[in-house]
Structure formats: structure tokens, C-alpha cells
Chain A
Amino acid sequence: MKQERWPGLIFAGVLLFFYVPMVVVVANSFNASRFGTRWQGFTFDWYAKLFADRGIWDAFVNTLIVGGAASLAAVVLGTLSALCLHRARGFLLRFKFGLVYLPLAVPDILMGISLLLMFVMVRVELGFTTIILAHGCFCTSYVAMVVLARLQDFDFSTMEAARDLGASPVQAGLRVLFPQLAPGIFSGALLAFSLSVDDYVITFFVAGPGATTLPLRVYSMIKHGAPPLINALSTLILAATFLLVGLALRFRNKEHTP
């Protein structure tokens, strides 16, 4: 059958649409012109200025702390939730699945405003703790979904075999189930971490005056204009994303070819 040409053309158009804006940002980050209107020569100045900016370093460190703490909480709670979901039947399954699924579907701004209102009502001071709690909430759902998908491929008869051979339930869990689940838990953690370090809207609502994360910083730079610096920072974020996605995919492909 002759292959039609137009789906390919549409796909090429979509790729151009995706990448042209990103290429312009990357190019401008090396452009000596302050407003990026025309090419005035190649420079690393914006990167040098960026690395000299203490505020950005602080925000970067804050982001890593929040991402680490939130994904740690999410990995524990999400994995337990996935194990529960896999075993549950009837009401518990429906209720728990809804509870895990809805935070994934709800728009960020609703999660942000509702958490802010609760923190205000119970008089928790806004700051690191509230950001970590908020991120830990949506990250838990993501980890649970990833681990649940992994559990569906797990052959539970190996657990029964371990039990028949004299392993205690805990031993069987730790030495048979856990090693099989580990890649799923790891990719769930990676997903949780990347969502946390990327989150703006929810963080914006629950961050106090003292705790600034990188996305909050990036946002105010975009909003109030710091053109060349933000291009350089964005280029670094793009590079980090591409690197991480590449690693994650390589990791997953390796796993699929035994």
C-alpha cells in the first residue's frame, strides 16, 4: 500500500513547532546582544553572570532539598499504596484508587489554593515544610501509579514459592518482591523528583517569604525581565532535562532487553 505523505508532513510541522522556540532561546543565551534582537557575537558572559548570582544558587539548593524530601516521602507512601491497591478488592479498591488518581487529574491551581487555605486555617507557617508537604502529596500519587503498573507484571507465584520454601512474609517481601519492584520504584522516584523540581503553581501558593525554589525564581525573572540571564538558565534547564530523559529511557530500554 502506498504510504500517504501528509501525516509525515504534519509531524514534521509539529516538530518544527516544538523545537524552533527552544533553539531560539539556546541561541540567544550565547548572544552578546542584551535584548537578543540581532546576533552581536558569541559570548559566555550570561553564564558567568548566572553562576555568580547567589540567589539562583540558593534557589537551586532549595529546589534539590524539596525535591529530595518530597520524593522520599512519596516513594514510601506511594509504594505502600500501590501494594494495597494491587491486593484490594471492592470498596477499598474503588475508594483508594479514586484517592490516588484524583490528585493527578486536578489542575495545579486548585491543589495550590486548597493547600494554602488549609495551611492558613491550621496556622502552619508557610515555608519549606509546607512546600515539601504539598509536593509530597502529588508525588505520592505518581509513584503509586508507576509502581502499580509494575506490580501488574509481577508473578506472585514466586512469592508463594518463597513462602513454601520457608521464607517468612517479610523475608519473601524483601528478597523476592522488592528486587523485582526496585526498577519501578526507582522510575517512580525519578518521576516524582522531576515533577517536584519543575513545579511552579503549587509552590507559588504554599511558599512563604523565606523559601524560594528555582521555578519561583525563573518565573519572576521571566515576568520582570532579565532577558539574557534567563535564557542562559533556561538553556541549562533544557540540557539537564534532555540528559535526564535520555538516561531514564536508556535505563528502561536496558530493562526490557533481558
Chain B
Amino acid sequence: MKRRGNDVTTWLLGLPGLLWLLALFVVPTLLVVLIAFKPSDLYGGTQAGWTVAAWGKLWSPGFGRILLRTLGLALLTTLLCLVPSVPCAYFLARQPPQRRNLWLLLVILPFWTSLLVRVLAWKVLLHPEGFFKKVLVWLYLVDANAVLLYNTPTVLLVQVYAFLPFALLPIYAAAEKVDFTLMEAARDLGAGPAAAFFRIFVPAVAGGIWGAVAMVFIPALGSYVIPDLVGGPSSELIGNKIAQRTFTDRNLPLAAALATCLMLAVLPPMLLALGRRRGNREGLY
């Protein structure tokens, strides 16, 4: 059944989904860019005509700081997720199958656990009277008056916690297919354990690492829940600003302009990930 073009059946099968996603994904996305150039009205809507007023309001040092913070935090989150994920994937891939399934289950569970519940857990843990704080005070690591919540390092910590399973699983999926006899060959030829790990294993799972980067970096750029729940005013990200402009002062064009900026930031990594995915359609699932 080799064909060149697409027959009518193929088009008919695709049409409902095509229209659905055009209406609920493509049109709204384009609308964001359009509304960013509309004047706002007093009632939280938009008026006729076109303006760059929203963009003028964005052009401020405050916004530059937020943009840099968002980018920096997303990069750091990605890096801190990758560093433990690669050796963990190595460990998992080298386990005997029976034990490996158990370990894997323990990684998959947090992957599926509600983000809100996992953020709450850290709020409980870092609470001024909480368990973690007491341990740190007892170890003389922090002052009894130190505040562990509502700052940028805490946002980073919780983001790493939230995204780590998303980094680990794609790298493990790649590690599972690695031919470990190559590492043994490298060792036999005189490479140390570190050299074998970094020059054989890491390049062999590079595809998984790129998958992990896409799974962590893109959502981290759009992070909103975590900075809102465990961050303070000094750790607001672009996502928080979008929500504030939408719900607090109801300036939809300004929210749309912010969203356009975020879109431009996620576009390059997203297209990169899409390109990689088309090469290998199997992916995670």
C-alpha cells in the first residue's frame, strides 16, 4: 500500500482534529499577538484601532529584570535537573530488570503526582515552624529567624523538585538502549571510570538529554504556580506578570504583549524539539 499523495480518506480522518486544534490553538495564539497591539478600555476589554501603547509600557528596566530572571531561573533549573538525572539514568539502566522496574516505579510516581500537592509539600516543609527549618536551625545552618519561603532560591529549589522526573525519564529512555559493552571496551583499553562515563555514556544518551532539556526548559520559562506559591515579590517571573495583568488590573493588551514576549522566548527551543521529534516519532510514549 505505498502511496505518494494523500487520499480523501486521510484528509477526512484528519479534518475534525485539524479544525478543533485550529480553533482552540492556532487562532487563540494568533489572537494574542493581535491583541498586544490593541488599545485597552476602562472595562477590561479592548477598543477598536491599533496602538503600541502596551509595548511602550513594557519598555522599562523592571521588565528587563523580570525577563532576565525568568531566563536565568529556567536555565539554572534545567541544569540542576540534568546534573543528577544523567548518573541516575545510568544507575537505572545498569540494574537487573526486576529491581529496575521497582526503582523506575518510584520515579514515575512523582512524575504523575499533582504539581500543586508537590508544591504544598515544600510549603509545609519550609514553613517557619516546619520540620526542615528546625533541622537546619539545629544544625546551626540557618538563624532561628531566617525565612526559608518566599524568595528566589526557594523558587529554584521547588522548580528542580517539580521538573526532575521530567528530566530523568527521557534520559533513562535513552540510557536503556545504550550498549554497555562499549563502556567495558573503553575500560579495557585503559579509560578510567569517569572517562568512560563522560566519553561513552553521555554522548550515547545525548538524544535523551535534549529531550529532557525540552521537557524542563520550556515549562520553566512559563512557570507561574511555583513562584506564585513559594516566591515573593522579588522572585516574580513573566508568568506571574501575565496573570497579574489579566486578573489584578485587567489590562488585556498588556497581558497579551507579555505573552507575546514569552512566546518568542519559547519558540526557538520548541521548534528545535519539534524538529527532533519528527526525526524520531516514537518519543516517550
Contact = CB atoms under 8 A, between A and B. Distances in A.
B90 A7 contact: yes
Interface stretch (B55-63, B137-145, B202-210, B255-263): B255-263
B259 A113 contact: yes
Interface in B238-280: 239, 242-243, 246, 252, 255-256, 259, 262-263, 266, 270, 273-274, 277-278
Interface residues of B, number: 98
Contacts of B5: 89-90
B48 interface: no
A92 B11 contact: yes
Interface in A227-245: 227, 230-231, 234, 237-238, 241-242, 244-245
Interface string B146-173: 0000000000000001001100100000
B120 A148 contact: no
Contacts of B3: 89
Given A1-B187, A117-B256, A145-B285, A6 B10 contact: no
A3 B90 CA distance: 11
Nearest to B243: A109
A20 B217 CA distance: 25
Nearest to B35: A117
B187 A102 contact: no
Interface string A113-130: 111111011000000000
B219 A7 contact: no
Nearest to A227: B124
A213 to B, nearest CB: 11
Contacts of B270: 102, 105-106
A115 B27 CA distance: 9
Contact of B225 (A83, A149, A200): A200
B127 A10 contact: no
A99 B22 contact: yes
B73 interface: no
Interface in A139-160: 140-141, 144-146, 148-149, 152, 156, 160
A227 to B, nearest CB: 8
Contact of A118 (B4, B27, B45, B106): B27
A222 B228 CA distance: 11
Contact of B229 (A35, A118, A222): A222
A137 B13 contact: no
Which of B120, B193, B229 gathers the greatest number of chain A CB atoms within 10 Å?
Answer: B120
A41 interface: no
B33 to A, nearest CB: 9
Contacts of A120: 45, 252
B28 A117 contact: yes
Interface of A: 1, 3-4, 6-8, 10-11, 13-15, 17-22, 24-25, 28, 35-37, 76-78, 80-81, 83-85, 87-90, 92, 94, 96-103, 105-111, 113-118, 120-121, 133-134, 136-137, 140-141, 144-146, 148-149, 152, 156, 160, 194, 198, 200-201, 204-205, 215, 218-219, 222-223, 227, 230-231, 234, 237-238, 241-242, 244-245, 249
18 contacts: A15-B106, A21-B124, A24-B131, A25-B124, A87-B7, A88-B10, A102-B270, A105-B274, A106-B222, A107-B266, A110-B263, A114-B29, A141-B21, A152-B282, A200-B116, A219-B225, A244-B112, A245-B105
